[in-house]
Copies of this chain bind each other. A is one copy, B any other.
């Protein structure tokens, strides 16, 4: 297999300039009482409060803007993608802001909330079956028959570079972090964060659900492993690892730890109770990883400053509506 073209740190810096007018500089929050109880400080980057409710809007905005810059997308363009989650809504809004239409191929079993978000932001949903073959044939038809431009959810240099801007902002606001904890699904956020932080001393720490630990095993075995059945509550992390992220993980020596479903729920509850923030299960995974690591080796964390990217906030309102 030929090597994919890898984005570089300069691509993250360029993405930050390119998308700055459209993407929110989300808040970084910290709680003195929580920090005191833990014995170290946590700075939370609130991508749950990003437009469309997740960091995915960064990469989608960057990728669409690049299509325009390259002269590929012009008036009347239609952008197509596949997504069972936040990327679909993010791409729909990014396309709509650029004046384009969008077609989002969504498997029938996808999260109802995330399907609704695609429609809310002006995307047209194209239902497909659960298999990869069905998804790809529908996408190919959109591309060949309707001339749609394909923006993949994570395995693309412009997407990875765009996602890296969240860690870049966090680093600019809190420059002396020991680690920045990120979830690993397709790997776009982790890959982009590795690029963004590749010049300083801050390490990126990837976290996966134990029930979706394909990236962990991919790194151990040196080749991409298939994803497990989609059963984790962290529905945003059920995707297979991308080739570009995997190459970046190997280049920068990313360490990935895994957490149980109970640890994910406990982290989500802590964010709810202590920060009053709505975070979806996938978005609580990095905090779960940090808490597990700090319990396992308290002395390594005491007095340190830790960053956590709260990657998404699209959880269903329990009161309905």
Contact = CB atoms under 8 A, between A and B. Distances in A.
Contact of A266 (B33, B279, B321): B321
A269 B49 contact: no
A39 B46 CA distance: 26
Interface in A227-282: 265-266, 268-269, 272-273, 275-279
B27 A276 contact: no
A51 B33 contact: yes
A49 B276 contact: yes
B48 A276 contact: yes
A265 B320 contact: yes
Interface stretch (A187-195, A206-214, A311-319): A311-319
Nearest to A49: B276
Contacts of A51: 33
A53 interface: yes
A277 to B, nearest CB: 6
Interface string A286-321: 000000000000000000000000000100011111
B265 A319 contact: yes
Interface in A14-55: 27, 33, 46, 48-49, 51, 53
A53 B278 contact: no
A233 B319 CA distance: 11
Given A49-B276, A53-B276, A265-B320, 6 more contacts: A265-B319, A265-B321, A269-B317, A269-B319, A276-B278, A277-B278
23 contacts: A48-B276, A49-B276, A53-B273, A53-B276, A265-B319, A265-B321, A266-B321, A268-B317, A268-B319, A269-B317, A269-B319, A269-B320, A269-B321, A272-B278, A272-B317, A273-B317, A276-B277, A276-B278, A276-B279, A277-B277, A277-B278, A278-B278, A318-B318
